[in-house]
Structure 1
Amino acid sequence: MQQQPLVDRETERAALDSMVAAVRDGESRVLVVQGAPGVGKSALMGYAEQTATGIRVLRAGGIESEMELAFAALHQLCLPLLDRMAVVPGPRREALETVFRLRTGTPPDPFLVGLAVLDLLSDASEGQPLLCLIDDAQWLDQASAQVLGFVARRLLAESIGMLFGAREPSPELRGLPTLEVTGLREADAHTLLNSLTHARLDQRIRDQIVAETNGNPLALIELPRGLTPTQMAGGLGLLNADMVPGRIEESFVGRMQDLPEPARLLLLVAAAEPAGDTDVVLRAAGQLGIDLAAAAGTDGLMTIGERVTFRHPLVRSGVYRAAGAAQRRTVHRALAEVTDPRVASDQRAWHLAAAASGPDETVAVELERSAGRAQARGGVAAAAAFLQRAVALTRDPARRVDRMLAAAEASLDAGAVEDVRRLLGALPGGLDAHQSGRAAVLEGQLAFASGAGVAAIPLLVNAATRFADTHPQLARETLLNAWGMASVISDRESFVAVARAVHSVPASGERGALDLVLDGVALLVTAGWADAAGTLREAAKLIGDLPASAVVRWGWQSTVVFGAIWDLEALQAVCTQQVRLVREAGALQVLPNNLTGLAYALTWAGEFEQAAAAIAEGELVAAATGNPLPPFNSLHLLSLQGRERETTELITAALETAAATGFGAALTTAHWAGSVLYNGLGRYAEAMSSALAAEQTWEPVGTAWVLPELIEAACRTGEVQVARDALDRLIEATQPFDADFPAGLEARNRALLAHDDDAEALYQEAIERLGRTRMRPDHARAHLLYGEWLRRRGQRVEARRQLRTAYDLFVAIGMEAFADRARRELLATGETVRKRTAEITSDKVLTAQERQIALLVRDGLSNPEVGQRLFISPRTVEWHLRKIFTKLSIDSRRQLRDVLSHADDNIVTT
């Protein structure tokens, strides 16, 4: 088929020339060519391909009728590279092999698939630059779009270009660099029209055609076809500019209607076969008795070669829509009969569904099987589509309800909220207990996702009650989910409702770790710390033995027990293990939650550098997976560091989030951070106000951790009764756990309110007990409070010793505000103290990502291992390392370890 030459497009061609040149020079480039149908996107992509000399080109394209087939477009793109699969690291390779049906396994995380594709493309680009052309991206299946968008955002230093063509980019591609393609300039549009029309046209008619097509090249090319010279001379009639795609499609349909019947039927067969498989199309044509010789002439609308291709996607859609329903069913039936179920079972099931004229249980079962296969490959959107079609083909009422619920569950996983609402709204009455429970779970999840968190809890509790008799384990899992939601809401009544339901739905058989977690937190709410202590301790002993599958699903929720028993050292150990297991499982979507727990434990231990790395990694993963984390960990870290501007900015953002969503966890965390910050700065009235505000919402474990800040601030402002009440609550929470950290924390806070005769022994007990833990910030604060107490009593020598110890600890940890508070106290004792600050020079400033890479390399990770952690290619790691070495004036990895070990205080992030 002869391609119409490009007219004009100097700007667009220059952009593509620049992109191709950069890829050829070893750089990465991504571009989305966006514009209306027929405006010339495919022609521009063809131009890029023609100019890509010395570059290997990989092609894929979205097909409207193939959108339900998971990873269809990705398979097109990667098929030529499958011989390189051995270079992809184990878990990623297994994920890619699973989605391409080269192996069976558990459903892979789509972002693990994305990392595998990044590895595959990066390796292929080592020998020759790559240009990936993905046309009709608006019709990519969701799974492919998600992976390709992920990869596009990770490219940096590879010789890879990704060029997308789309009418309107899907959500997965939004935010990528975009080239907007509009109609031709008026003069160029006239030039093109003149080259196509041989009849003499009135200038007014020419102007009207150009204006009303908005210079759309395909409209200018296709609309005159089939018109007589008289019709052309008389004008095309008024065209509505926003109807141009429809008119183009109509022009294609008009051309088709002039073809002989065999040719029209062959076009329909090809339009209904989404993969462009020549063999399948020809065999289906034979099944329908089409005379291929008679059908050979299709007026250039279709070409049969290695693949069946149409002149334009609008040809396919126009042909399919112009056919009658009965004719489409006949064609799909023929395609199903010739599609091999061993290699294309999903396509065959989809054809059978399209061929059905009414309920058909056999086909519905096939669609269910296809949905199962799609879910096994991680194609949740495809699974939802198959199940929704199965619902339409189901006659039996009970089975139809089960399929509606399954379709709604899959649709929720795919983020198709409106489909979930529609399916739930169509459910009939008279559901059994299990069905109504499933429906209630879906309604609760919808409510929570919509911001109506308080309304979600009763729905989940109701669902658990319905499951209790027939599916007790499902009931308990539902309540564990409800607890997680309640923790975000931080609403006392919600916690009470969940806790009471837990008591009414006891575990069946021997209680495992998760049963003990659920029972422990429920007892904490309804009976208090003392009654819950034994169950919580028992749960904590078993959590480290959870299998990987349970860690992926429930691990981050299970760690609540360590905060409840005040054992943050065990929390750090378990979270480290869980992060490793989740990484190995490739469950990237839940990894940020596990990293959050690890960062929390590291922050309390005063390991600020490691905590910042865990926070940064969690934020990176969360951003990559499209589920940004709230800044709770950063708030905690910044407040302890005493960085007032950054902390107050995040507090403001968190309070705005709480106001917008009604989720109390944001409010509690923000005010708690404020209390820590202001205690460090010595602004005790503000600290007390923040601590009291943090208690406005309620979380049975987290609220207790605010109490030390409230006690200290209230004592310093003379609000003794407020401090005593808070101390009573703290003692109730800590006394059941006879360990150094809770006992030391209790002693430190008792000392603040004790008579002078008792205070000294309590301070010394606090220092001794906290000194045996890894909780360095609290140990340092015990020295500070003791030193302040001694100074007020006039014991300057001993006060100096305690305050100097506190100051040195705070400086070593990085608690700037508390260090300055200790320094002021030392000055008040008459000691001269030089304020220690880190020297910062411009050549030692690393970006946040450079810092992450530097720390990981310092810890001995290879470039591929760093790339796996940070979702970039080894080549990009090497590119960053070169910049890091330049900034730090070093030239080896060994020197990097030396620099970061001995002079890390001189390095800041920007």
Structure 2
Amino acid sequence: MQLIGRDAETGVLEEFLGRVRAGESHAFALVGESGAGKTALLQHIAERASGCLVVRVEGVQPEADLAFAGLYQLLTQLPVRFDQLPAAHREALRTAAGMRPGSLNWLAISLAVRHILFAASDKQPLICLVDDEQWLDHASVHVLAFTARRLGTRPVGLVFASREPSSEIAGLPFLKLNGLTDSAARALLDSTLAAPVDPAVRDRIIADAHGNPLAILDIPDEPLGGFALPLVTKDEWHLDTLPDETRRLMQVAAADFVGDPVLVWRAADKLGIAARAANPAIEAGLLELDTLVRFRHPAMRRAAYWSATLPQRQEIHQALGDVTDQRTDPDRRAWHHAHATPGPQEAIAAELERCTVRAQSRGGLSAAAAFLERAAILTPEPAQRARRLFAAAAAKHDAGARNQALELVAAALAGPLSAGERAKAEQLRDQLRTATSLMDEVRRAVEAGGNTDEVCIESVLEAWRGVEPTTADDYAKAVLYNGIGRHDAARDAALRALHTPLVITELAEAAARTGHFDLVKALPDPVGDWASGIQARIDALLTEGAQADAHHRDSITYLDRTHVRIELARAHLLYGEWLRREHRRIDARAQLRTALEIFTSMGAEAFSTRAQRELRATGETARKRTQPNHNTLTAQETQVAQLARDGLSNPEIGTRLFISPRTVQYHLRKVFAKLDITSRTQLDRVMLG
């Protein structure tokens, strides 16, 4: 298979195969957007891996909540002799599979999988390819990531393909798939056409694709810009052209997310679908039904599933649930029956809730959350529905799905909760708001610096929270150490991360604070408000007196025009620190209060603590708040609200308080939300004195 425009990437893959064949182990992540060619590159590995045992695991979005579903795929492809495993490993796998009661022993499960992979590699090198890791269940990713980091000297290779790697595999080396160059994109387009295309139309196709191979290959088979494309040589799915019974069988196969062919055949039989219905799909290379159900591409599974109408999907899930063994797999049976139910039904909701305990005991926090959410949807009684929504929100929070948790807790609060339940739900909502706010800010900061490929968002998020990053991310460590005032450690970490352009800002602060001004670097050709604001900050660190003051003010002015509030807060912090050292304590307090309030509202604990420390040094006591109080105005918000009530405009308030008009507007939005009002004219009514 020729991969146009991917010579560099295939070279890396050839090196990977050579290392494994030579008896070395290696694991890495293949990262790229949907359609970038990750599956094609995995297929390239499989085709070139002569002399190796190749096994594949596919993440499927609806299956992401079913704990250990990925490991099930893996182990069914390996020559496993469970009777030859150590007893502890054998029992750990039985517990994970739900075959015996007990709590999970993650170490034993991971070591058991590692043992199985090593045993499989005794006769020939083993290559394990994991596609769509972002949709693989968390339990399987956890175990496979543990194994990937501990392969030792065995001839075992693991490749994880993902749109955005999870935190579990973030520490592995990764190969980033960028868009194709224009010349490669044109060559790929030409390879699909059997007739010439008008140059203008050709250029538009290339421009619209943005270098994405799948977007180029998926050009419509119809006239474009007045020029017909009579023949596209690539294989297209065209599920609607298959016989009805064949398409129906593919829908059943797509709905069984574990890929059990026996279960698919039994459900098909229950639905009256004959075995011969598989032939057209198999002959066209769209579907495999042997030891495991396989679609030609993960996206085809999704296309097949959603090609069915809602009543058809409900009928399919009913059949799959009916043929699933209640004793050995009650979770999957309940899950299918829940998706077969058209409306609220307490019996099925209660069954899902009972299965939640089993799902969580097997390590599936995401599964527990999904079961509770579906149970709530199917609950007819309002109070019980609200309680289940809150339980689902808490489980989503524990599983790290903050945005989904926030939606669920909002729905729970709209229901008739008891006073105690409502207080707990409000507390969870406030925690989630803080965490989500910081995550959004970190993403904006990284994107503004153009570093989305080089930076692990989760690690940087931990750093802003004041937590030591779990991965060896030196940029994140530089952020953390600057935040807690360990500038020498921040400098050293930044010097190790010079390959990451955004680290220039961390290095500048750390180097200036430790007297190593020779290490401070300017941004290359700063363009735009964010870059200009960061450059002004760097200039302020390198100058003194009136020049430094002007640069600090410029930095705030530029960053105030952006949406990166966390960097604006940092500009206020640095200015406040400089003002304090210049013995301008009153001016310093205004800057430091603004910084503290923004940091605290976002949960940026490292920098909040630093701002508090600086405020105390000015003689003002700053009350520590680990969680923002969403009902009480802060000191700065009270000042802003009082001046706005008295008729001052935002620029006038900003001049009075030494902050920018945009920061005034930021405070007013928070004031309106806390006081449950919508305009300045209402301030006189709700504020006294």
Decide: shared fold, TM above 0.5. yes
Among 127, 134, 140, which residue is 1:131 paired with?
A: 127
Structure 1 residue 273 corresponds to structure 2 residue 256:
yes
> Residue 279 of structure 2 aligns with which residue?
296
Query: Structure 1 665/330 Cα, relative in aligned 2: closer, same or farther at 3 Å?
Result: closer
Matched ranges for 1:240-639 at <5 A: 252=237, 255-294=238-277, 296-298=279-281, 299-427=284-412, 428=414, 430-432=416-418, 435-436=421-422, 438-439=424-425, 442-443=428-429, 446=432
Contact 2:35 / 2:213 at 8 angstroms: preserved in 1?
A: yes
Q: Distance in 1 between matches of 2:605 and 2:343?
A: 50
How far is the alpha carbon of 1:18 from its aligned partner?
A: 0.9
How far is the alpha carbon of 1:377 from its aligned partner?
A: 1.2
- Give the AA of the match of 2:395: A
How far is the alpha carbon of 1:267 from its aligned partner?
A: 2.0
Q: Distance in 1 between matches of 2:374 and 2:158?
A: 34
Q: Distance in 2 between matches of 1:232 and 1:450?
A: 44
> Residue 174 of structure 2 aligns with which residue?
178
> Residue 83 of structure 1 aligns with which residue?
81
Contact 1:54 / 1:129 at 8 angstroms: preserved in 2?
A: yes
User: What are the Cα deviations for residues 129-179 of structure 1, in whole angstroms up to 9, with x where unaligned?
Assistant: 432210111211223233333443455655432211223333433353222
Q: Distance in 1 between matches of 2:348 and 2:623?
A: 52
User: Which runs of 5 or more structure 2 residues have no equivalent in the other structure?
Assistant: 439-466, 489-509, 515-572, 578-591, 626-689
Structure with bigger helix share is: 1
Among 2, 21, 24, which residue is 1:24 paired with?
A: 21
Among 89, 92, 95, which residue is 1:98 paired with?
A: 95
How far is the alpha carbon of 1:205 from its aligned partner?
A: 4.8
Contact 1:201 / 1:232 at 8 angstroms: preserved in 2?
A: no
How far is the alpha carbon of 1:372 from its aligned partner?
A: 1.2
Q: Distance in 2 between matches of 1:665 and 1:219?
A: 43
How far is the alpha carbon of 1:376 from its aligned partner?
A: 0.3
How far is the alpha carbon of 1:17 from its aligned partner?
A: 1.0
How far is the alpha carbon of 1:63 from its aligned partner?
A: 0.9
Q: Distance in 1 between matches of 2:351 and 2:114?
A: 34
Among 45, 58, 71, which residue is 1:48 paired with?
A: 45
Q: Distance in 2 between matches of 1:178 and 1:165?
A: 9
Q: Distance in 2 between matches of 1:258 and 1:78?
A: 35
> Residue 56 of structure 2 aligns with which residue?
59
> Residue 490 of structure 1 aligns with which residue?
none
Among 155, 162, 165, which residue is 2:158 paired with?
A: 162
User: What are the Cα deviations for residues 191-229 of structure 1, in whole angstroms up to 9, with x where unaligned?
Assistant: 55555443454555555545544565445555466x5xx
- Give the AA of the match of 2:425: A
- Give the AA of the match of 2:315: T
User: What are the Cα deviations for residues 746-796 of structure 1, in whole angstroms up to 9, with x where unaligned?
Assistant: xxxxxxxxxxxxxxxxxxxxxxxxxxxxxxxxxxxxxxxxxxxxxxxxxxx
User: What are the Cα deviations for residues 470-518 of structure 1, in whole angstroms up to 9, with x where unaligned?
Assistant: xxxxxxxxxxxxxxxxxxxxxxxxxxxxxxxxxxxxxxxxxxxxxxxxx
Q: Would you say how many aligned residue pairs link Structure 1 and Structure 2?
A: 487
How far is the alpha carbon of 1:278 from its aligned partner?
A: 1.7
Matched ranges for 1:488-887 at <5 A: 660=599
> Residue 71 of structure 1 aligns with which residue?
68
Contact 1:405 / 1:438 at 8 angstroms: preserved in 2?
A: no
> Residue 498 of structure 1 aligns with which residue?
none
User: What are the Cα deviations for residues 306-336 of structure 1, in whole angstroms up to 9, with x where unaligned?
Assistant: 3222222222222222322112111111221
Greater shift, 658-667 or 146-155, is seen at 658-667
Contact 2:99 / 2:328 at 8 angstroms: preserved in 1?
A: no
Q: TM-score, normalised by structure 1?
A: 0.46
Q: Distance in 1 between matches of 2:177 and 2:480?
A: 37
Query: Structure 1 223/285 Cα, relative in aligned 2: closer, same or farther at 3 Å?
Result: farther
Which structure has the bigger radius of gyration?
A: 1
Contact 1:273 / 1:335 at 8 angstroms: preserved in 2?
A: yes
User: What are the Cα deviations for residues 834-888 of structure 1, in whole angstroms up to 9, with x where unaligned?
Assistant: xxxxxxxxxxxxxxxxxxxxxxxxxxxxxxxxxxxxxxxxxxxxxxxxxxxxxxx
Matched ranges for 1:83-232 at <5 A: 83=81, 90=88, 95-108=92-105, 113-114=109-110, 117-118=113-114, 121=117, 125=121, 128-155=124-151, 157-182=153-178, 193-199=189-195, 201-202=197-198, 205-206=201-202, 208-214=204-210, 216-221=212-217, 223=219
User: What are the Cα deviations for residues 636-695 of structure 1, in whole angstroms up to 9, with x where unaligned?
Assistant: 9x9xxxxxx99x98xx99x99999459999899999xx9xxxxxxxxxxxxxx99x99x9
> Residue 870 of structure 1 aligns with which residue?
none
> Residue 444 of structure 2 aligns with which residue?
none
Report the secondary structure of 1:264's partner residue: helix
- Give the AA of the match of 1:83: R
Query: Structure 1 263/696 Cα, relative in aligned 2: closer, same or farther at 3 Å?
Result: closer
> Residue 672 of structure 2 aligns with which residue?
none
| RMSD, aligned CA | 5.0
- Give the AA of the match of 2:316: V
Report the secondary structure of 2:288's partner residue: strand
Report the secondary structure of 1:131's partner residue: strand
Contact 2:58 / 2:298 at 8 angstroms: preserved in 1?
A: no
Q: Distance in 2 between matches of 1:372 and 1:160?
A: 36
- Give the AA of the match of 1:103: R
How far is the alpha carbon of 1:112 from its aligned partner?
A: 6.7
How far is the alpha carbon of 1:343 from its aligned partner?
A: 3.1
Q: Distance in 1 between matches of 2:605 and 2:198?
A: 71
> Residue 10 of structure 1 aligns with which residue?
7
- Give the AA of the match of 1:168: E
Query: Structure 1 376/48 Cα, relative in aligned 2: closer, same or farther at 3 Å?
Result: same
Report the secondary structure of 2:81's partner residue: helix
Report the secondary structure of 2:34's partner residue: coil
Query: Structure 1 44/130 Cα, relative in aligned 2: closer, same or farther at 3 Å?
Result: same
Among 208, 216, 227, which residue is 1:234 paired with?
A: 227
Q: Distance in 1 between matches of 2:262 and 2:382?
A: 40
Q: Distance in 2 between matches of 1:36 and 1:664?
A: 29
> Residue 841 of structure 1 aligns with which residue?
none
Between the aligned residues of both structures, percent identity stands at 39
Q: Distance in 2 between matches of 1:344 and 1:288?
A: 21
Q: Distance in 1 between matches of 2:60 and 2:158?
A: 18
Report the secondary structure of 1:57's partner residue: strand
Report the secondary structure of 1:385's partner residue: helix
User: Which runs of 5 or more structure 1 residues have no equivalent in the other structure?
Assistant: 238-247, 453-617, 639-644, 675-688, 700-910
Contact 1:88 / 1:119 at 8 angstroms: preserved in 2?
A: no
Q: Distance in 1 between matches of 2:154 and 2:406?
A: 43
Q: TM-score, normalised by structure 2?
A: 0.59
Contact 2:30 / 2:162 at 8 angstroms: preserved in 1?
A: yes
